[in-house]
Structure 1
């Protein structure tokens, strides 16, 4: 565009110049070889311009003829390069689609047109083709060759990491992930693998250093790095609360300052303050956290915050906490438990029934069974609430990547992703589908559970079934009569039910399962778990 504009300006200047000379007539006299020549001035100017144009054209022709071999060579080289990149692109697409034959053919064609030293993607296509064809040794050698090139070092480490996981060599996989994390802390796969290992070993200082390195590498991830640091500080405080109370208290307070919405940080900081007798300061932290997100751990720490309180004092603290953010399920349950401990069964029943009407869950029915047993002793009603607890939706728990736990952890035991636990109701319907169709995922989850310090519990459901079984056994022992001689009993008419409660008891007994209750926890065979864990990862 600039060149066209330049030519336009030159033509305009020449036109204006010739027009100016035409308005001013004159002659140009020249003497050459004793002869005198006289020409008009405008004719002399036109001849001069034409001479310059002829010289430029001649120079262009001579230059083009002189450079023609180089031009032809460059043309054929560009054509060859284009064919090579076209073959490389087709090969990568074929490798991604799983077509090993086409990928191998395109790799050879690309290697014939391009140099592998100048184009590292040829090596990548060769490695992917080897993986598709099942040549794992060649694929590993190809990834090791990629490590030698600084431009493809991270790519080679990534491939070796996945191959080591596929082969079950977890130590080698962690080594490759650590090397990649040193070169590029912003890589999610590398930092997650290293972070999961550091947290499993309890190396919180190393995990904090890794988070700081990621913060420097990711200029736009300051908020994420702040939350990750808060999670690690909370975990370190929870680990050191009994051995190094002062350091744990400082870590918990800093974590609560960095992430006020992190429930474990607030609870840990408040409990550390309660231990030192700073009840008011700890209560303020829990009250602020409760206003943001009502959580049962906050309620438990707040109600039991002051040592030596009576049941009535704890009930009073529960009333105050619930008043800060009313009409919540967790608040009603906390108040109901405090009222049950204080012997105020009417208040406890009102709050539990409020929860059952709005959001029924296991813990509500279990608590209602305890209230019924303590207040009326009606075993029929107790069994009724217990049976409803078994069928009720589960209570929210800490969940990360499909893994549910009663205890919070800074990293996911499945993927090693930091700060991934969320407080929500687990989805039970997805578990059988995953176990039936993805055995490699099941093996990975089992191995992560074995390595993780987080312990998976489902105590609410097991306690409900155990309690129901205990009541059935006790009733069976009291209802079995002494042995009598066999004799034919006269036919009798069925007795009428005196009260509606007795009728409900018999109907409920008819629906209860007969015989011993078997818990659905068969366990996991250790050898089978390890065998499945070796095949738990795939590159594609």
Structure 2
């Protein structure tokens, strides 16, 4: 476009010049070697322009003839290069599609048209073709050649890294990833791999150095950086919690600045304050987290913050959590558990049933079974709640890659992925997903609760008195006394009967009351004297 504009301006300038000369006529005389030539000024200008054009044409013609061999050679070389690149492109597409035969064919054609020194992608096509055909050693050699070339270093290192991962050589894969991250820190796969390996090894300081300072123009990248740094700081705080509570508290505090609702960081900071006997600050952190997340781990740590508290004190703290988040399943469950420890069975039962209605899950029904066991001991009702627990969804837990952990971890033990653990309900193989808050099953379970059975407490067997061997002594058996259990009524049918006196002159026999599972002494059996002076019952 610029050249066309320049050409148009040149033509206009030339036309303007000729028009200017036409408006100003004149004569031009030239005397050369005794000859005189007279002409008008316009004719002289035309002759000069024609002479210049003729000289330019002759120069172009000479140049074309002189450079024609090179031009012809360059034309055929360019045509050959184009055919080579077309074959290379077709071969890479075939390799990506898994067509080993076509990839090998295009590789041979590309080698005949292009030089591997001038086009490094030929090594990539050869390595891909070798991997498709199962010749992994040849592919690895090609990747090593690419890793030594500055132009293809990153590509070769990635190929070696993937090959090492395929073979399970984690140490070699780690070295390739570290090398790639050092040479090209902008590569996401290298940074991710090196970060995972350092995190898996527990080298949190080096992992924090690897993620950099997070200076990026992208809002998404800044968010990812903040999350990763919070996770790494929390992991380092957890590692130093026992040996250095102050350092752990500082790291956890920095993590909370990056993510204020990150529960693991808040728990670690609260634990550090508790180890420093600073209950007020620990409670403040836990209360803020509870208001934001209503997390079960926060409730458990808050209720049991002080080891010397009584069951009543723990119940009061649980009720404070419920006041902060009313009608919350975790709060109701915490109150029910604390009420059970305080032997407030009515409140424990009411709160546990309310928690089960809001969130029907395994722990709620198990808690109802514990309440039933502590209050009534009715095995039928206990089994009823245990059966409901078997059918209920599992409790939320820290879950990553199909496994659960009792506490949060920074790295998945299965894949080594950073920040893999999430607080969610684990996948169950026994039942499908249950909607949170469905109360039909819970109401049916409460409605079908078996009535309280009235049964006697098992009798205690008193030891048999030893009788000395004297002429006047007679064998005597002490009847077992069935004592009713506290808070239970004794069934009239099971009341012990009085022993009936026998005829005078015979040994007095008294019935023996054994345990419920003990058949006792058969009717008509008489205690016999053994050689030690005692009486054998059997």
What's the offset of the Cα at 1:307? 4.0
Partner residue, 1:308: 308
Sort the Cα spacing of 1:408 and 1:60 in 2 relative to 1 into closer, same or farther, 3 A: same
What's the offset of the Cα at 1:311? 2.5
- TM-score using structure 1 length: 0.73
1:171 is paired with a residue whose SS is helix
Sort the Cα spacing of 1:34 and 1:191 in 2 relative to 1 into closer, same or farther, 3 A: closer
What's the offset of the Cα at 1:106? 0.8
1:118 is paired with a residue whose SS is coil
Partner residue, 1:245: 245
2:125 is paired with a residue whose SS is helix
1:37 is paired with a residue whose SS is strand
What's the offset of the Cα at 1:235? 1.7
1:38 is paired with a residue whose SS is strand
Partner residue, 2:467: none
8 Å Cα contact 2:92/2:103 also seen in 1: yes
Greater CA deviation, 107-116 or 172-181? 172-181
Sort the Cα spacing of 1:114 and 1:215 in 2 relative to 1 into closer, same or farther, 3 A: farther
Distance in 1 between the 2:242 and 2:111 partners?
A: 63
Distance in 2 between the 1:429 and 1:53 partners?
A: 91
Greater CA deviation, 323-332 or 272-281? 323-332
8 Å Cα contact 2:198/2:207 also seen in 1: yes
Distance in 1 between the 2:188 and 2:322 partners?
A: 41
Distance in 1 between the 2:155 and 2:49 partners?
A: 62
1:427 is paired with a residue whose SS is coil
Sort the Cα spacing of 1:345 and 1:183 in 2 relative to 1 into closer, same or farther, 3 A: farther
Equivalences for residues 22-171 of structure 1 within 5 A: 22-171=22-171
Distance in 2 between the 1:181 and 1:280 partners?
A: 45
Partner residue, 1:273: 273
Distance in 1 between the 2:160 and 2:427 partners?
A: 34
What's the offset of the Cα at 1:111? 1.4
Partner residue, 2:336: 336
8 Å Cα contact 2:238/2:268 also seen in 1: yes
2:211 is paired with a residue whose SS is helix
State the Cα RMSD in Å. Answer: 2.9
8 Å Cα contact 2:400/2:421 also seen in 1: yes
Distance in 1 between the 2:261 and 2:109 partners?
A: 57
1:202 is paired with a residue whose SS is coil
Greater CA deviation, 214-223 or 350-359? 214-223
Partner residue, 2:236: 236
Sort the Cα spacing of 1:292 and 1:65 in 2 relative to 1 into closer, same or farther, 3 A: farther
Sort the Cα spacing of 1:41 and 1:188 in 2 relative to 1 into closer, same or farther, 3 A: closer
Partner residue, 1:15: 15
Partner residue, 1:357: 357
8 Å Cα contact 2:269/2:282 also seen in 1: yes
Greater CA deviation, 181-190 or 130-139? 181-190
What's the offset of the Cα at 1:104? 0.9
8 Å Cα contact 2:394/2:428 also seen in 1: no
Distance in 1 between the 2:8 and 2:75 partners?
A: 31
What's the offset of the Cα at 1:430? 12
What's the offset of the Cα at 1:188? 4.4
Distance in 2 between the 1:46 and 1:292 partners?
A: 92
Partner residue, 1:375: 375
Q: Deviations over 1:196-221 (max 9, x none)?
A: 44334333333333333x84799874
What's the offset of the Cα at 1:385? 1.8
What's the offset of the Cα at 1:263? 0.9
Q: Deviations over 1:293-319 (max 9, x none)?
A: 221111112222234223233233223
Sort the Cα spacing of 1:428 and 1:124 in 2 relative to 1 into closer, same or farther, 3 A: farther
Distance in 1 between the 2:365 and 2:113 partners?
A: 73
Larger Rg computed on CA atoms = 2
Distance in 1 between the 2:43 and 2:223 partners?
A: 78
What's the offset of the Cα at 1:237? 2.0
What's the offset of the Cα at 1:2? 0.4
**1:282 maps onto 2:278 in alignment:** no
Greater CA deviation, 142-151 or 262-271? 142-151
8 Å Cα contact 1:107/1:122 also seen in 2: yes
The runs of 5 or more residues in structure 1 that have no matched partner are: 432-474, 479-540
Distance in 1 between the 2:115 and 2:429 partners?
A: 53
Distance in 1 between the 2:59 and 2:346 partners?
A: 108
- TM-score using structure 2 length: 0.73
Q: Deviations over 1:245-268 (max 9, x none)?
A: 232222222222232222111000
8 Å Cα contact 2:127/2:142 also seen in 1: yes
Partner residue, 1:209: 209
2:129 is paired with a residue whose SS is helix
Q: Deviations over 1:49-96 (max 9, x none)?
A: 232222222222222222222222221111111111111111111111
How many residues end up aligned between the 2 structures? 433
Sort the Cα spacing of 1:227 and 1:33 in 2 relative to 1 into closer, same or farther, 3 A: same
Sort the Cα spacing of 1:18 and 1:361 in 2 relative to 1 into closer, same or farther, 3 A: same
The runs of 5 or more residues in structure 2 that have no matched partner are: 432-454, 459-538
Greater RCO, 1 or 2 (C-alpha within 8 Å, sep 6+): 1
8 Å Cα contact 2:199/2:418 also seen in 1: no
Partner residue, 2:486: none
What's the offset of the Cα at 1:292? 2.7
8 Å Cα contact 1:185/1:217 also seen in 2: no
Sort the Cα spacing of 1:353 and 1:157 in 2 relative to 1 into closer, same or farther, 3 A: same
Q: Deviations over 1:129-158 (max 9, x none)?
A: 111111122122222212211222232222
1:404 is paired with a residue whose SS is strand
Distance in 1 between the 2:26 and 2:231 partners?
A: 93
What's the offset of the Cα at 1:177? 2.7
